[in-house]
Amino acid sequence: MRVMVLGGAGFIGSAFVRELNKRGIRPLVYDLLTYAGRLENLKDTDHEFVKGDIRDEKLQEAIAKYRPEVVVNFAAETHVDRSIYKPQDFLTTNILGTVNVLDASRHYNFKYIHISTDEVYGEECGNENSPLNPSSPYSASKASADLFVRAYVRTYKVEAIIIRPSNNYGPRQFPEKFIPKAIIRTLLGLHVPIYGDGKAERDWMFVEDTGRIIADLIEKAEWSGEVYNIPGGQRYSVLDVVKMIGEVMGREVEVRFVNDRPGHDRRYCMTTGLRYEVTPLREGLRKTVEWYLNNRWWWKPLIKDRFFVEDEPWSKGGVNT
Ligand SMILES: NC(=O)c1ccc[n+]([C@@H]2O[C@H](COP(=O)([O-])OP(=O)(O)OC[C@H]3O[C@@H](n4cnc5c(N)ncnc54)[C@H](O)[C@@H]3O)[C@@H](O)[C@H]2O)c1
């Protein structure tokens, strides 16, 4: 099967490439290699690679040449704090980039898998038909893209589905995100900044499970704009997860409560019509901690990033700069 993975050099995209390899598929990865996308993430995988932007004409050219049967789009700006600091890139990549992929699907007849997020439902528990109620520039950009997917299915009859995963964690997640940040900062003997009271609740999913569930959906999905929620089914507060990380690492985690993130959702929560197995959080955290312990070469060059160094980076430098 000819599969093209947009954003395949990122965290979930590279786990998905590994899952495809397990199934004997050698995909084409198309990725701009932004700060979050790294060829290191694709080490030891079997793939072709094209460096490119999903917002460009070059995407259409790559699709015309490769003629994929399936295109899976993980390419996005993904960090909520960065979206508060500077929303524009989220609009162009997450919305205009998606529309560019959808335009290609009108001409080249591939099945399109759009990767969305549970954050589009806001704080209310969502099933696949629940209204979208985004709170951050990030989730607003993801919700907008989802609406374009639905519109293209209806108007142009393109074959597409929308998948909404919950909070992923695991190897190769950029250290700006909460779990790798907590692990690495603890390894370095630094405090872990926690927004507000630390009681914000997320639904945690090990990234290898997400890769497997998405790959299964290539075979199982209906292709007329269906939404597939994929919750991890393990809802824990940020503080609970920090405690668990400390237990798994066998170390004291020094927590420092800092000003809450503006617009911070207290929880995410979804139901799903799908059935699948997931890795228990403690086991997934053990694998994740082990990976960061054994792969210091991967994260050492990344820890000068302000979203790793500063407690509330979105509040420094102003919005819209
Ligand atoms: N990580 C999570 O917990 C989570 C949860 C739910 C949904 N999602 C969604 O899953 C997808 C992947 O998330 P992730 O955590 O792997 O993200 P990530 O930030 O680790 O990776 C994003 C990838 O997209 C690439 N990219 C960014 N802009 C691009 C552009 N204009 N053109 C081409 N490539 C570009 C980057 O180089 C990077 O490789 C995103 O759509 C995200 O919204 C993530």
Please answer whether residues 259 and 312 qualify as being in contact, where contact means their C-beta atoms are separated by less than 8 angstroms: yes
Average pLDDT over residues 78-86: 95
**Gap between the Cα atoms of 31 and 38, Å rounded:** 9
Average pLDDT over residues 9-20: 98
Residues 6+ apart with CB under 8 A from 98: 54, 73, 114, 145, 148, 149
DSSP secondary structure of 275-314:
------HHHHHHHHHHHHHH-HHHHGGGTTSHHHH-SSGG
Which pLDDT band, with edges at 50, 70 and 90, does 321 fall under?
A: very low
Asked if CATH classification 3.90.25.10 holds for the domain at 177-203+236-268+280-304, the reply, yes or no, is: yes
238 lines ligand 1 (CB under 6 A): no
The answer to whether residue 237 scores a pLDDT higher than 50 is yes
DSSP secondary structure of 40-94:
GGGTT---EEEE--TTSHHHHHHHHHH--SEEEE--S---HHHHHH--HHIIIII
- pLDDT value at position 315? 85
76 lines ligand 1 (CB under 6 A): yes
- pLDDT value at position 126? 85
Largest CA distance in the chain: 56
The answer to whether residue 128 scores a pLDDT higher than 70 is yes
For residue 173 the two structure tokens come to 């997640």
CA torsion sign, 272 to 112 to 83 to 132?
negative
What percent of the chain is predicted at pLDDT more than 70?
A: 98
Starting at the edge strand found earlier in the chain, the sheet holding 111-115 runs 48-51, 28-31, 3-6, 70-73, 111-115, 160-165, 224-230
Please answer whether residues 30 and 4 qualify as being in contact, where contact means their C-beta atoms are separated by less than 8 angstroms: yes
- pLDDT value at position 316? 76
The answer to whether residue 78 scores a pLDDT higher than 70 is yes
Residue spans in the chain of domains classed CATH 3.40.50.720:
3-168+204-230
The torsion of the CA quartet 176, 181, 184, 189, rounded to 10 degrees, works out to: 120
For residue 218 the two structure tokens come to 């290539």
Please answer whether residues 226 and 154 qualify as being in contact, where contact means their C-beta atoms are separated by less than 8 angstroms: no
**Gap between the Cα atoms of 101 and 66, Å rounded:** 14
- pLDDT value at position 318? 55
- What's the number of CA atoms in the CB half-sphere (13 Å) around residue 254? 7
Q: Which residue owns the Cα nearest ligand 1 atom 5?
A: 167
80 lines ligand 1 (CB under 6 A): no
Distance, CA 252 to ligand 1 centroid (Å)?
A: 31
User: Of the residues 30, 112, 138, 268, which is catalytic?
Assistant: 138
The atom of ligand 1 lying closest to the CA of 168 is 3
Q: Which CATH architecture has domain 3-168+204-230?
A: 3-Layer(aba) Sandwich (3.40)
Distance, CA 96 to ligand 1 centroid (Å)?
A: 15
Residue spans in the chain of domains classed CATH 3.90.25.10:
177-203+236-268+280-304
